[in-house]
Structure 1
């Protein structure tokens, strides 16, 4: 979903000439980064499926071992970077390589609705063995609603979109979700925006918004504005310098805010008995909802990775080829690995029975990583074949664009 020039709204001064063209039909650095995020996401889902007996919490519990802490921590980068790239890709969709602007509103709205339905139906079906009495609105729900929101504001001036995204990203921590309680005016709407909480019940099934949407909406808006960096009239060297500067600025702002416990995180850090424990305390940010410091470190690292992948794109072409494959069909890889894990779990449960309480579980964190490597290798060929099929037939089969 990425091939573009620069968004123009009626009355806007064009930022790039209408005849400008993009770098190409697909942008390797974006595909590589998206593929890396998919692999990290697999790690998180292996942990969720096979290590459920050891909860990690949010923020991560201080009783969690360092190896499990950092295994969980690395997966924090998935949602914000993926949503940031979704914003970039939306801008790229709006400004195709032929230079003719096309409004992304309809596509974003339909895609957002489909992602919400995927989350409600396909994701929740994965955990039906736990009892289908709760619908958990997760990351696809957040991405879908963010896309729907972007579909409504994408006709604004591109810089206003970016400014609104920054305002939301830096300002949402000033709102205290704990102040929102059942019975308040517009409780459901406000909870969807700000709070990890139950929002209602339908036919005896509870509904919980695990991913409060407002902060993610800010991230997708910033990503949409940043998509301009990939217009052909933006010199490669300038784009790389801008990405590098964005990444460094994000991390520096995070270090200042977090270092002095000024703003952007609900739980202050403190010096611990060991240096490692102090680092863990410093980096321990909240995800539900994502705090400013959480967004700064994850999106900041994402910008640095985009810089590095483009900086070394020629040398990295072969080593990162597998990442490009996973990144070119992220939704296919996402659901394929989730259902593979579901089948694998029940096969292992049938063979070994419950090993931790009532569930089958892996014995240690190292086995989580090993299982992720095995899963990645096993899924590579099917993903590669589907990617080839998609890119060959996507013009006559529009439904492929949703995968």
Structure 2
């Protein structure tokens, strides 16, 4: 068993890289839709949406939970090489702080193109960074992976019991609760504000659970594949029982719709901000099944996805700029003014945008363009072991 673990941590697990690459590609679809859509309403609004529009948004729900979960798994596989727990915790601490810095500088500017940084958005990189800091603390405490996983599962399964607590009732502690468990806006001063899009609970639990999940890669591929199928199906079965009967796990119970297909969409429409238990059971259950399916899959398509999956952060930052800057260029070429775009912010300017076929075409073009620099950087990381490469 120990020899198997040693082999696993010395070699990248292809299924992890492939799945991570798939979700990075899907993630770009959501961001292209954000900037290029002509739809002025929430695609998940069942009173207005279409099945195709709903599913275009819904499929991207798998991105954040899968990436955070796999980040925990990758942390276990990577840090297993380090015999010194303090060194392992220190690496995660430094990486988490580094991501926080980038989230509110380079990444923030890519989203807003606002040199004054008047609005700070705490998004997925913020959640990943905070999760790394939390995981670093747990490792520093010298907790075993199984114990860390239990802490993560407690946060995942228990946090919806706190849904009734609202930041508006907490006075001076309002910001604390927005950071922890409630999406919302906080006015910093008369010039600046912050929007907490990703409250950190239960994201910190998702990464902790992923860290414990990494121990399953001690098993031989066939054994872990069978185990992943059982875990994935178990998550989906629990999701269906809790969701169909509206027992627990999401602050918004599904309601009967007047059209049959909307009933299906109502069941799978779960809260993302913060991610409810049912949201995580649904998305992670399917992702764990995907890990099982990818265990022995190796073809030209999976190898393409693996390129993105091996350099996710190198892909993430440029894709924001490519999507946003290209949107500005197209908008200006169509007669929109800079003022119109600034006033609209990240919403849809009046008269702007395209239907889904064009959205999908732009998405494919952007992902294709990014393949070549990502492939180059992947080769760089394979050839060189410079310390700074682990931060990109």
TM-score by length of 2: 0.90
Greater RCO, CA 8 A, separation 6+: 2
Separation in 2, partners of 1:61, 1:77:
20
Partner of 2:34: 48
Range 351-360 or range 374-383, more displaced: 351-360
Report the counterpart of residue 216 of structure 2 in structure 1: 229
Compute the RMSD of aligned alpha carbons.
Answer: 2.3
| Alignment partner of 1:149 is 2:134 | yes
- Partners of 1:93 and 1:35 lie apart in 2 by 18
Q: Which residue of 1 aligns with 2:326?
A: 344
- Match of residue 318, structure 1, among 291, 297, 300: 300
Q: Distance in 1 between matches of 2:245 and 2:194?
A: 38
Secondary structure at the residue paired with 2:185?
A: strand
Tell me if the contact between 1:349 and 1:360 (Cα under 8 Å) persists in the aligned partners. no
What is residue 369 of structure 1 aligned with on the other side?
360
Which one of the candidate residues 87, 90, 97 is aligned to 1:113? 97
C-alpha displacement of 1:40 = 0.5
Unaligned residue ranges in structure 2 (runs of 5+): 341-347
In the other structure, the counterpart of 1:282 is: 267
- Are 1:128 and 2:112 matched, yes or no? yes
**8 A contact 1:352–1:360 mirrored in 2:** no
Match of 1:333 among 315, 321, 324: 315
Question: Is 2:381 the partner of 1:399?
Answer: no
CA–CA separation in structure 2 for the residues paired with 1:188 and 1:271: 36
Report the alpha carbon displacement of residue 224 of structure 1 after superposing the two structures with TM.
0.2
Q: Aligned ranges for residues 242-257 of structure 1 at < 5 Å?
A: 242-257=227-242
Report the Cα distance in structure 1 between the residues aligned to 2:144 and 2:127, rounded to whole angstroms. 24
CA pair 360-327 structure 1, distance change in 2 beyond 3 A = farther
Higher helix share: 2
Equivalents in 1 of 2:293, 2:227: separation in Å?
12
Match of 1:384 in 2: 375
Matched-pair contact (CA < 8 Å) for 1:177–1:194: no
Q: What SS class does the counterpart of residue 354 from structure 2 fall into?
A: coil
Whether the 8 Å CA contact 1:345–1:360 is kept in 2: the answer is: no
TM-score scaled to structure 1, two decimals? 0.88
1:100-149 CA deviation, whole Å, 9 max, x = no partner?
A: 56542011111111111121112221243578421111000001001000
Post-superposition offset of 1:21: 1.2
Give 3-state SS (helix, strand or coil) of 1:181's partner: helix
State the shift of 1:352 in Å: 1.1
Q: CA deviation at 1:53?
A: 4.7
Q: Distance in 2 between matches of 1:318 and 1:17?
A: 32
Q: 1:160 is matched with which residue: 126, 137, 147? A: 147
**Offset at residue 182 of structure 1 (A):** 5.8
Name structure 1 gaps, 5 residues minimum.
1-15
Q: Could you tell me how far 1:64 is from its partner in structure 2? A: 1.9
Residue 268 of structure 1, CA deviation: 1.4
Q: Does 1:29 pair with 2:15?
A: yes
CA distance in 2, matches of 1:115, 1:182: 31
Change (3 A) 1:156 1:52: farther
